[in-house]
């Protein structure tokens, strides 16, 4: 999940080592609809299958955000399993939690409920090996314990726990040991949220409650999107 141009689709392509999801650096959304697939997690090769879901970028416009949320809701309704982890993707060059990002996260929290934070992994993309030294100031600013991005996120949403944070490169993922190490950290972060939740998948109680209010006996349980499901 994330804003337009932050690298969601590229990250998924890197995980499965296939150019399955359309990607590109753009101020307008490249991903126009929700896509998903089941593949082996190949970077690194951990010998686990993963169900990954690519969602349209948020913050393109108010109208598009609302439209995309409705698309996600309809997709969520068709899934029968829960969520291992939500990956929130941000750009390393944006070191402040701006109002666009806050509004986007408010939408997710309102839709999924505050428990979804327990399954969140935060990823900052474009931390390429040849740019790492240049980006050290950004990394320090994001990690600042008082007014850094993650600290502000915790304060703004009153999180009782801090989501794991990963700095990621999608450059030369087939040959770069640096990129491989980045994605190993990502995989370990997903495992950490799984273990923190005692391997219980996130389920969208919002939809369940809505169903119960409408017709408690005739409607099935509805669960949310599985961004990473094994």
Per-residue pLDDT reduced to its tens digit, 137-156: 999 999 888 888 888 999 99
Mean pLDDT, the chain, integer: 80
Q: What is the residue-wise DSSP string for 189-215?
A: HHHHHHHHTTTPPB--HHHHHHHHHH-
The pLDDT score that the predictor gives to residue 128 is: 95
For residue 2, is it within any domain? no
For residue 41, is it within any domain? yes
The pLDDT score that the predictor gives to residue 80 is: 66
For residue 108, is it within any domain? yes
For residue 124, is it within any domain? yes
Per-residue pLDDT reduced to its tens digit, 21-62: 887 554 445 556 788 899 999 999 999 999 899 988 776 666
For residue 36, is it within any domain? yes
For residue 153, is it within any domain? yes
Domain that holds residue 107: 8-227
The pLDDT score that the predictor gives to residue 150 is: 85
CATH number at residue 220: 3.40.50.300
User: Are the CB atoms for 15 and 42 separated by under 8 Å?
Assistant: yes
Using a pLDDT cut of 70, give the percent of the chain over it.
79
Number of domains in the chain: 1
Per-residue pLDDT reduced to its tens digit, 152-202: 999 999 998 889 999 999 999 999 999 999 999 999 999 999 988 777 777
Q: What is this structure's pTM? A: 0.82
User: Are the CB atoms for 65 and 58 separated by under 8 Å?
Assistant: yes
For residue 221, is it within any domain? yes
What CA–CA distance (Å, rounded) separates 213 from 59? Answer: 32
């Amino acid at each position: 999940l994330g804003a337009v141009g932050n690298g969601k689709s590229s990250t998924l392509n890197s995980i499965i080592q296939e150019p399955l999801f359309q990607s590109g650096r753009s101020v307008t959304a490249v991903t126009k609809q929700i896509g998903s697939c089941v593949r082996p997690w190949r970077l690194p090769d951990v010998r686990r299958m993963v169900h990954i879901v690519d969602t349209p970028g948020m913050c393109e416009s108010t109208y598009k955000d609302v439209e995309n949320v409705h698309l996600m809701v309809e997709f969520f309704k068709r899934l029968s399993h829960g969520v291992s982890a939500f990956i929130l993707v941000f750009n390393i060059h944006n070191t402040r939690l701006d109002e666009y990002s806050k509004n986007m996260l408010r939408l997710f929290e309102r839709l999924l409920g505050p428990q979804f934070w327990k399954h969140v992994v935060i990823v900052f993309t474009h931390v390429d090996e040849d740019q790492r030294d240049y980006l050290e100031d950004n990394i320090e600013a994001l990690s600042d314990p008082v007014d850094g991005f993650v600290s502000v996120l915790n304060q703004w949403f009153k999180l009782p726990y801090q989501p794991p944070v990963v700095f990621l490169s999608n450059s030369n993922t087939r040959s770069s040991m640096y990129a491989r190490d980045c994605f190993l950290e990502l995989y370990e972060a997903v495992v950490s949220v799984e273990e923190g939740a005692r391997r219980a998948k996130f389920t969208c109680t919002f939809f369940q409650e809505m169903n119960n209010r409408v017709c408690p006996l005739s409607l099935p349980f509805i669960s949310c999107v599985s961004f990473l499901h094994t």
